[in-house]
Structures are given as structure tokens and as C-alpha cells.
Chains A and B, each alone.
Chain A
Amino acid sequence: MNKTLLIIKREYLSRVKKKSFIIMTILGPLLMAATIILPAFLADWSEATKKRVAVLDETGWFHEKFKDQDNITFYYIYDDLETSKENAIHEKGDLLLYIPRTQLNIPVNAQLYSTIQPGLNVTTYIRTVMKKEIENRKLLASGIDPEVIKSAKTNINLTTYRIEEGGVEKKSNTEVEVGLSIFAGIMIYFFIFMFGAQVLKGVMEEKSSRIVEVIISSVKPFQLMMGKIVGIALVGLTQFFLWIVLTALFLGIFQSGLFGGSIPENLAQWDQSGQVIEQSIQTENIGLDKLELVKEIIDGINFRVMIFSFIFYFLGGFLLYASLFAAIGGAVDQDADTQQFMLPVSIPLIFSVMMTGVIINQPDSSLSMWLSFIPFTSPVTMMMRIPFGVPLWQIWTSAVLLILGFIATTWLAAKIYRTGILMYGKKVSYAEIWKWLKNK
């Protein structure tokens, strides 16, 4: 068997069999599935406890204005404050909303008493009702019919279409694209760093345990370095695929199993909840069902392009950075020395994540374009641009430059690595590394 393959196999298997890998592989998708499912579940669970609110309205303006909600019931009392507190809160365990009469014409103060946290849904509802009622009264006082205002309100439903090459029109939604863009960019950054660090650690382990000399008496240092890098890249890809598959699987299990049949309903509710407040006003005007729209947009995302480009930019970016990390691991003797070399190497990667805002605002600007050409920043920035659509020639340019980039860094790194792994007890400096590079 080819020796490089043997090394790749060892590097791959020894990591995939580790407990930490297995835990990460299961925990990652669980967390992802949970972040999707849990809000719906939690909302459902917290609202299950019904709250009752006693309303002591001294102004009399809000009589019967508070309507019973799913989990909130209102009733009206007409005692004085102290008696009401005694009755409602201490005896019945309810909440007490006190709207005092004020000197002003319009009451703007109210107090909510309770022994428990009232919860956001209660306070939001009360505030909304009071605001609406007072606004209406103000309008009436100035002689304007609230109905006129209501009918004058207009919502613009702007659907954006992106015309693709070949003239295909595609419904696009910037919000979804922004989300996808940030997610993809951060994922690439996270993957490159996480697995790059493994390369660094692996090389340092070989050096400090002194097995490296035994191995390079059988294979070339370059084979050992590349075997390690490729092996770890495969671990990264394995993790990526398992995460996609398992997330889908967990979502399925959560939906069908854990929550019984009730969940699809709840999920649907939650899907809307992000836009719940806006929507309550807007739905009348928008002809299109929001859920339908989201679905259409998700269908519009080209998952094949996303996954393919993620794999390409992960591999390209990883090979580029991992070879540099391998060189650092080979050059240094102690953990503490890695810092001074790690920082300059990671700066472009961190910088590209810091550029997120700029790229999302203007994915087609020349700054975004150049960042997605430079091999050190292109993995993260190009992944951020791809959801918005990138001209094909730019993708090709970026891809070719990235390939050239990693060939160059690998070549440089191999020189540093080759010399460094046999150097012990010497604190390396940049001047020293420069000397190694000049060695033939």
C-alpha cells in the first residue's frame, strides 16, 4: 500500500475513533436541531401555564378592551387598590393591573402587580392594547376617524427577482440570503480553524514525542505532512456530512416522535412567530401567505451549489491554512511559542469574518470581489457572497487563485516543516525560519 495512503488512513481513523469526535458529531446536529425545534417547544410549554389578570381601571377607558387570550384571562374589579391587592394577588394568586386616574386628560401610567414574573406575552399584550386605545382616543379628540387612518395604511409587498444567466427569473429574499451568507461564512471559518488546529496539534505531538524521526526514516517529511493534512481534511468532510445527515434525521425524529402529532401545528405557529407582530397588521394586505413565501425561497436556494462550494472552499482554505499550521507546529518546540506565529497566520481569516457586514451590505462591490479573490480571505468571503449569486468568472478566478495559493503555501510550509521537525531546544525566530526557507 502506498505509504502516504497509510499515513492518511492512520490520521483519519485515529481521529474518527476518538470519543470527542463522536460526541461532537452527535452533539452538533442535536444542538442545530434543538435551536430549530426548541423555541417552538418552549413557547408551547411556557404558555401552558394560564395567567389571570385582574384589571382595576380607575379611568374606565379600558372596560372590556382587554380580550381573553390563549393563556391570559382578564376580569374586572372595582375595589380600592389595597383590597384588590389582597383579593387578587394574595388570595387567588392572580396578577393585578392597576390603571390609576391621573390629573392629565390621558392616562399613560399603569402598574402591574404580581408575585410571579408576568412574562413578556402579558406585558406586551397590555401595552399594545393600551397604546392602541389611547391613540384612537387622541385621534378622535382631534376629529379624525381611526378607520380613515387604518384604511390609509399601506404595506408595500416588494418581491425581488434576480435574473440569472440564461434569463431565468428567481425569486430572491435578502433576509434569507443574509442568514445563509452569515451561516456559511462562519461555518467555513469555524471548520478551517478547528481542523487547522488539529493539524498543528498533531505535528507538535509527533515532534515532542520524538516519533517523527522514526517515521521520516521511512517516508519523506513531505509525505508525512501531506498525509496528516489530507487525513484531517477527510475528518472535516466526514464531520460535515454527518452533521447534515444527522441534523435532518434529528429534525425528523423530533417532529414525528417526541412531540407526537401535535408538533407540525406548533412548528407552523413558530415559523410565523418571528413575524407575528408585523404580520398581525400586514396579513390583510399581503395576498401571499408568508409561510408559502418562505417555502418558495428555500426552494430557491440552490443547495447543490451551496454544498459543493462549501466543500471546495473548505478544502481549499483548509489546505492553505493547514500547511501553514503544520509549518508552525514543525518549527516550534513548546506550546507557548506557537502564539507568536499563530497570530499573523490567523489574522486574514479573522479579518474576513470581520468583513461580514461589508460583504452582506454590498456583495457585489469591488472590495467584496477582491476579498473573494485573495486566497487567504476567499474561503470565508466567497462563501458569504455565493448565496447572493456571484458571476461565474469570479468563482473561477477565485477558485484558481485559491488552488495556486495552497500550492504556494504548501511548498513554503514543507521547507519550514522539513527543517523544523528535527530542531529541538532552540527557540525559533522569524530570522531563523527565513534561513530555513533559503536552504535548498
Chain B
Amino acid sequence: MSLLQAIDVAKSYAGHKALDKVSIDVEQQSIFGLLGPNGAGKTTLIRIINMILAKDSGEIFLEGKKMTPSHTQFIGYLPEERGLYKKMKVGEQALYLAQLKGMPKQEAYTKLKEWFDKFDISSWWHKKVEELSKGMQQKVQFIVTVIHQPKLLIFDEPFSGFDPINVNLLKEEILKLRAEGATIIFSTHNMASVEELCDHIALINNSKVILSGEINEIINRFKANIFEITYKSPKELLLDKEGFTVLSTNRTNGTFNSRIKITGSGSPNELLHAIMPQAEITSYREVLPSINDIFIQEVNNAQHE
């Protein structure tokens, strides 16, 4: 069942099309990656979902109901360009922002205290925001985004500005939030984290969705039937025959590492059969394309069309 559905959403600014009939479908309790080069329209789509911008046409449904402004309290949004009131105290500010999301003051206070303890930042409560480093401010912003336990969380480049330790902390929290029932849309250029976290992705380029689906399905769709085999042998094996093409071979001491593309009639098992009698195989695996490769390939293809 889908939590959020955008159907044919379009938006243009003074002559420039920012979104051209974009449709996405975000499944309940999943992590949805919104990818795309800069200026593709990701932020516009996110702002429309948040009702910050009005769409020109199309529909957005949250849990099957047409979205209205009152739905924004079910959404937690961490924008890419984010900030806090510099002169305001951390605790006071977090409380204010939580209340703006519709939380009663007392409940917000209790919840905030829990989160501050969890992130080990309770001592910042009475500090002014301007006294915190950028990374510290990001933590506060993260807490403020999730504090009202929204059904839908939208993170725009959540990891920028965090050190690796805090990136991990954040990833853990994101996964935990999903486990607790939240649905997450997350927009990023960091492809490694996409592979690690996302269940579904949509690739937006030039205001259109050019690729979308379940992440493993997409990777399978783009695999090139290339296998990597490592074997021990006194000399390189001759494997170029019907159905197999050796793409590259590296030799280190008595160990060879070959990338072989299986074409037409060949199959992975046949390849294995061909090698087994002649050498000792130490590893054999299929080479899958990374999301990064797919991203670059698809964006380039789209531009050439």
C-alpha cells in the first residue's frame, strides 16, 4: 500500500518547466530515494509535497486522500538549505518548532528531552544556536524534523555537513524510524547511501522521471552479465570461445582475476565448468552495476536523446 502518491504533477516558473508530469509512488514503511542532477526538479517536487509551493496540475494523495494543508503536520521535512534562529536558545527553539508542527507543549518537551539524551546533547539545551558548530546544529535540526513522529519524513541531502561518525548515527536512526513505521523520502547525491538505505528510487532528470522502481530490480535491469573470476594457475587460461568474452585480466603472482561477459548462448554455469578442470577457483561473482553507474549512464543517455 502506498503512503504517498504523486500523479502527473507539473509546475512551471515563468516559462521554465520545473516538473513535467512527474509521478512517484512511495510505499508505506519504505525508504524512497529521489535522485537526479542539480536543477532536475527534486527540490520543487519536495516543496510541492510539503505544500510550500502550489502545483500547476496533477494530484497528490497521502494515504489515499487528497493532500490538504492540514496534512503537513504528518510530514517532517529537513530541507537542504536549513538553519535555525541564531539568537534563540536551542531548547526553546526546538520546543517552538515542535509546537508549530502541532505538538502540545508538554509532550514536545518530554519527547525533546528523550531525543537530546539519545544524541547526547542535553547540555546544549540552554545554549544559543550561534554557539553551536554547524554539525551540532544539524543534529538539532534532525531532532526537530522527527520529533512529532510524522508518517512521512522528507530528508533533502541529510548527510551534508556531518562527519562519518554522525552520518552512521543518522543512518541508524533513519532505519530505526522506518522500523517504527515511518516512510521516508530522501533526496541525495550520495549514491553509496542510496544503495545502502533505499528500497525504491526514482531518477529525475530535466524535470521528468526517467527511471524508477525497486532498487534490486533496477540493478538487475542494468546488469551486463559480467562475471568476475579469480583463479590460481601457472598461466592465463584461454577462455575466449563461443558465448564468453574476456573483458580484462589482471595477474598478481600466480593469481589471475578476469572479467568475462557472457553473451548469447553462454551461461554462468558453463563458464564455471570451462574453468574448473584447468585451475583452482578462489572466487566467482557476478559484477552488478552500481547506482552511481546507472545514474551517470541514464542521465547521459537522456541528454543524448
Which chain B residue has the least Cβ–Cβ distance from A218?
B100
* CB-CB contacts below 8 Å: A1-22 with B: 1, 3, 6-7, 10, 14
> Is the C-beta of B296 less than 8 angstroms from some C-beta in chain A?
no
Q: How far is the CA of A215 from the CA of B99 in the complex (A)?
A: 11
Which chain B positions have C-beta within 8 A of A217? 50-52, 72, 75, 77, 79
Q: Which residues of B contact A206 (CB under 8 A)?
A: 85
Bound Cα distance from A216 to B46, whole angstroms? 13
Most chain B beta-carbon neighbours within 10 Å: one of A10, A217, A218, A435: A217
Q: Are B100 and A3 in contact (CB under 8 A)?
A: yes
Q: How far is the CB of B149 from chain A (nearest CB, A)?
A: 14
B78 proximity list for chain A (CB < 8 A):
214
Interface status of B143 (Cβ within 8 A of chain A): no
In the complex, chain B residues whose CB is within 8 Å of the CB of A214: 77-79, 82-83, 97, 141, 144
If A217-B75, A220-B69, A435-B14 touch, does A210 touch B99 (CB 8 Å cutoff)?
A: no
With beta carbons under 8 angstroms apart, the residue of B53, B72, B73, B84 that contacts A211 is B84
Chain A residues whose CB sits within 8 angstroms of the CB of B85 once the complex forms: 14, 205-206, 209, 211
| B251 interfacial by beta-carbon distance below 8 Å | no
Which residue of the partner chain, among A3, A209, A220, A424, contacts B84 with CB atoms under 8 Å? Answer: A209
Whether A218 contacts B69 by the Cβ 8 Å rule is no
State which residues 65-94 of B face A: CB under 8 Å. 69, 72-73, 75, 77-79, 81-88
Contact (Cβ within 8 A) A424 B81: yes
Contact B86 A209 (CB under 8 A): yes
A219: chain B residues at CB < 8 Å are 100
Q: Is A422's CB within 8 Å of the partner chain B? A: yes
Interface size range on B against A? 20 to 34
Cα(A206)–Cα(B75), bound, Å: 21
Chain B residue contacts of A435, Cβ below 8 A = 14
Chain A residues whose CB sits within 8 angstroms of the CB of B86 once the complex forms: 205, 209
Contact indicator A6/B83 (Cβ below 8 Å): no
CB distance from A206 to the nearest CB of B (A): 8
Q: Does B109 contact A (CB under 8 A)?
A: no
Whether a CB of chain B sits under 8 angstroms from the CB of A135 is no
Q: Among A210, A216, A220, which residue has its beta carbon within 8 angstroms of that of B81?
A: A210
In the bound complex, what is the Cα–Cα distance between A7 and B85 (angstroms)? 13
**B116 at the A/B interface (Cβ < 8 Å)?**
no
Known: A14-B88, A218-B72, A422-B52. A213 touches B81 (CB 8 A): yes
A213 to B259, CA, bound (A): 49
Residues of B near A424 (CB, < 8 A) are 81
Distance (whole angstroms) from the CB of A425 to the closest CB of chain B: 10
- Residues 113-148 (chain B) with a chain A CB within 8 angstroms: 141, 144
CA distance A3 to B87 in the complex (A): 21
Q: How far is the CA of A424 from the CA of B82 in the complex (A)?
A: 13
CB-based contact A213/B100 at 8 Å: no
A10-B77 CB under 8 A given contacts A209-B84, A216-B52: no
Q: Return the CB mask of A398-440 against B: 1 if under 8 Å, else 0.
A: 0000000000000000000000001010000000000100000
A339 smallest CB distance to B (angstroms): 24
Least CB distance, B91 to chain A, in whole angstroms? 14
Complex: chain A residue closest to B81, CB-CB: A210
Given A14-B87, A215-B100, A210 and B73 touching (CB < 8 A)? Answer: no
* Per-residue contact bits, chain B 156-190, to A (CB 8 Å; 1 contact, 0 not): 00000000000000000000000000000000000
For A7, the chain B residues whose CB sits under 8 A away are 100
Shortest distance between the CB of A153 and any CB in chain B (Å)? 67
Shortest Cβ gap from A210 to chain B (Å): 4
Query: With A211-B84, A217-B75 in contact, is A6–B100 under 8 Å at CB?
Result: yes
> How many whole Å from A237's CB to the nearest CB in chain B?
23
Contact with A along B1-41 (1 / 0, CB 8 A): 00000000000001000000000000000000000000000
Q: Hey, which chain A residues are within 8 Å of B51, CB to CB?
A: 217
The answer, yes or no, to whether B101 is at the interface (CB within 8 Å) is yes
Chain B residue nearest to A202 (CB atoms) is: B85
B96 within 8 A of A: yes
A203 CB to nearest chain B CB (Å):
13
Docked complex Cα distance between A215 and B52 (Å): 10
Q: How far is the CA of A198 from the CA of B52 in the complex (A)?
A: 25
- Residue in B47, B69, B75, B81 whose Cβ sees the most chain A Cβ within 10 Å: B81
Given contacts A14-B88, A217-B50, A217-B75, contact A211 B82 (CB under 8 A): yes
A14 and B100 CA atoms in complex are apart in Å by 16
* Bound form: Cα–Cα A211–B100 in Å: 13
What 0/1 readout, one digit per residue, does chain A (352-392) give for beta carbons within 8 Å of chain B?
00000000000000000000000000000000000000000
Q: Given A6-B99, A218-B73, A218-B100, check contact A210 B50 (CB 8 Å).
A: no
19 A-B residue pairings within 8 Å (CB atoms): A3-B100, A3-B102, A7-B100, A205-B86, A209-B86, A210-B82, A211-B85, A213-B79, A214-B77, A214-B78, A214-B83, A217-B51, A217-B52, A218-B72, A218-B101, A218-B102, A422-B47, A422-B52, A435-B14
Query: Beyond A210-B82, A213-B81: 19 further Cβ-contacts under 8 Å?
Result: A3-B100, A3-B102, A6-B96, A7-B100, A14-B85, A209-B83, A211-B85, A213-B52, A214-B78, A214-B82, A214-B83, A214-B144, A215-B97, A216-B52, A217-B52, A217-B77, A218-B72, A424-B81, A435-B14
Return the 4 tightest CB-CB contacts between A and B, nearest first. A210-B83, A209-B83, A218-B100, A217-B77
